[in-house]
Amino acid sequence: MLWETLSVVRDLPRLHEIASVMIRYGWGDLVRMLGISGVLERAGRVLHWHSTSEISQLDAPVRIRRALEELGPTFVKLGQLLATRVDMFPPNWITEFEKLHSQVPAVPYELLHPVLIAALKGEPSVLFAEFDPVPLAAGSIAQVHRATLKDGSPVVVKVRRPNIEAVIRADLRILEHAARLLVSEVPDLRRYDPVQIVSQFRRSLNRELDLAKEARNIEQFARNFADDPLVQIPQVYWEYTNDQVNVQEQIIGLSGVSPDKLRERGLDPVILAARGADTVLRMVLEHGYFHADPHPGNVMFLPDNRIGMIDFGMVGMLTNSRRNQIVDMLSGLTRKDEQVLLQVLLDWNDDSVGDEDRLAYDVAELLQSYDDLQLKDVKIGALLNDITAMMRDNNLLLPADLTLLFKTLITLEGLGQQLDPHFHMIDNVTPFVERIIQQRYTPQALFARGRKSVREALEVIADLPRDLRHLLRDVRRGRIKVDLDLKRLDHFGHQLDRASNRITMGILTASLVVGSSIIMTVEGGPKLFGLPLFGLVGFLIAFFNSLWIIFSIWRSGKH
């Protein structure tokens, strides 16, 4: 139960708040299942198990989205993460999760001022030529202020909200316990691995809390695009930057505006759409390190149709092998090669597919549905959504490092179509894929892969005698172990331990009854109410033991 695992009393107020919000939005069954009601009732906190008629009439995705919004920054961020899990949730849920945003009321400057002084190690009005106390933007973790350096350079100062770290740490502790309980109590959820989702969420939040990490991200992107004059990445001012504050160059341009306004400023929306797509595709397919939130507010349009990128708190990473799988998938889609696409899906799930024939049929059916379309008419967002829907139907999961990628590509295509109604992401993808595939088969690439394969084979052969010697030694010494991962074994052991405790108490109680009965027949000794004192005490202890056993059995039947 959750009350048995929560070790710190300081989380009880937050736990009560979470339970109350979830109940009000019609998720009381989830609260009961997690045992939250039990811990709060034992702590004397009353829960009102009802929701308003207005709320009860809302669809489940709307109710969960509104509950997450009310629960604050951690849960809003969790909803944003779940919005990337297109392999887990149907489109109507994803649509609601996408409505979650991090815009919250700004912290008054008088409360933020001490944080700035401590983080900057000085008074902002002294360190900067100008500092605007009115925030430029406010998010759930940090807010941004305009400033000017002594040399006249315009910058933005991003500072963490006061006490936000303590709130997030408490929420993460509660979410981790809840994830373990979901795995234990709801077997159907195990394949989604809630514990891993919360672990991924924790890492993502820790990165966002560390504003110096965002600064390092910015510098990595700056190095990757150092040779591209059409892409501008802000400069970081490290003398003012640490985990609580981030000072970077202010990129002044247009964002989130209509194509007509861009044309009024002498910019070409068609060129900007293509360059924006090429910039992100280069991050994904060439660098393996990409901006994971390219929504209109984070992409700036600069003079000479250049692209500026801001807000690097959320980034994605892809290994070389994963990038090759992405290239193979995109190649299979553009060439409508069902065998290539099928093999990529099998690789993503370690070949652990329940019905491979059904999956192969679904892949062929998917590609067939696009057979009558010209390549230029294919919308990659709709195609990726179809692939993830097919994966859900076949109980397949998208690897965690690809959920951000799929979401990024879908967001990017939407941005491109806002700028240019005739924009087709697939037109920008195809040249990248063809170029990378051609590079795989150049003489230099073939020679490098061959040399690597020979080196790895020689290393295996050279290590074989040593590995065999170690294996035989472990066999002789009885050190060979077989690890069995038996699901719910810990839970079963806990239940067995409780049952054995009850049996033990039952035997002791029965022994007390028998012993006390014998004492009652013996003359002599101290008396109480005319009865042998020791026999009477034995009966009383047996009586209270019996009450404990009955209460324990009754309580376990409620959970």
Q: What's the confidence (pLDDT) of residue 5? A: 46
Q: What does residue 146 show for φ and ψ, rounded to 5 degrees?
A: -80, 150
Max avg pLDDT among 90-94, 127-131, 161-165, 416-420 = 127-131
Q: What's the confidence (pLDDT) of residue 47? A: 58
Structure tokens at 465: 């005698």
Q: Is the pLDDT of residue 8 over 50?
A: no
Confidence category of residue 7, pLDDT binned at 50, 70, 90: very low
* Pairwise pLDDT comparison (524 vs 343), residue with the higher score: 343
- CA atoms of 64 and 66, how far apart (whole Å): 6
What is the per-residue pLDDT across 344-394, written as a single tens digit (0 to 9) for each?
888 887 656 677 888 889 888 888 887 766 656 677 778 888 888 888 888
What average pLDDT score do residues 206-223 get?
A: 91
What average pLDDT score do residues 536-554 get?
A: 73
Structure tokens at 93: 């849920």
Q: What's the confidence (pLDDT) of residue 129? A: 94
Q: Is the pLDDT of residue 496 over 70?
A: no
Structure tokens at 215: 């600064």
* Pairwise pLDDT comparison (155 vs 192), residue with the higher score: 155
Q: Is the pLDDT of residue 145 over 50?
A: yes
What average pLDDT score do residues 491-499 get?
A: 65
Q: What's the confidence (pLDDT) of residue 345? A: 86
Q: Which letter, b or e, does each residue of 153-187 get, where b requires 16 or more Cβ atoms within 10 Å of its Cβ?
A: eebbbbbbbeebbeebebbbbbbbbbbbbbbeeee
Could you give the percent of the chain with pLDDT greater than 70?
Answer: 82
Task: Confirm or reject CATH 3.30.200.20 for domain 103-165+194-250, answering yes or no.
Answer: yes
What average pLDDT score do residues 247-262 get?
A: 89
Q: Please tell me the total number of residues recorded for the chain in this structure.
A: 559
What is the per-residue pLDDT across 506-528, written as a single tens digit (0 to 9) for each?
777 777 777 777 766 666 667 76
Q: What's the confidence (pLDDT) of residue 46? A: 52
What average pLDDT score do residues 292-320 get?
A: 88
**Distances from the Cα of 315 to the Cαs of 214, 288, 377, 472, 519, in angstroms?**
9, 10, 29, 46, 77
Q: Is the pLDDT of residue 206 over 90?
A: no
Structure tokens at 37: 């009601």
- CA atoms of 153 and 252, how far apart (whole Å): 12
Q: Is the pLDDT of residue 4 over 50?
A: no
Q: What's the confidence (pLDDT) of residue 1? A: 43
Q: What's the confidence (pLDDT) of residue 522? A: 66
Catalytic sites, residue numbers: 293
* Pairwise pLDDT comparison (259 vs 426), residue with the higher score: 259
CB 423 within 8 A of CB 391: no
Max avg pLDDT among 80-84, 158-162, 373-377 = 158-162
Q: What's the confidence (pLDDT) of residue 247? A: 95
* Pairwise pLDDT comparison (206 vs 502), residue with the higher score: 206
Q: What's the confidence (pLDDT) of residue 490? A: 60
What DSSP element (H or E) covers 7? none
Q: What's the confidence (pLDDT) of residue 35? A: 61
Q: What's the confidence (pLDDT) of residue 458? A: 79
Put simply, whether the predicted model's pTM sits higher than 0.85 gets the answer no
Q: Is the pLDDT of residue 3 over 50?
A: no
Q: Is the pLDDT of residue 316 over 80?
A: yes
Confidence category of residue 320, pLDDT binned at 50, 70, 90: confident
Q: What's the confidence (pLDDT) of residue 50? A: 58
Q: What's the confidence (pLDDT) of residue 49? A: 57
| Mean pLDDT for the chain overall | 80
Structure tokens at 558: 């409620």
Nearest to 34 by CA among 559, 449, 398, 385: 559
> Of the ranges 111-125, 147-161, 347-361, which one carries the lowest mean pLDDT score?
347-361
What is the per-residue pLDDT across 452-472, written as a single tens digit (0 to 9) for each?
778 877 787 888 788 788 778
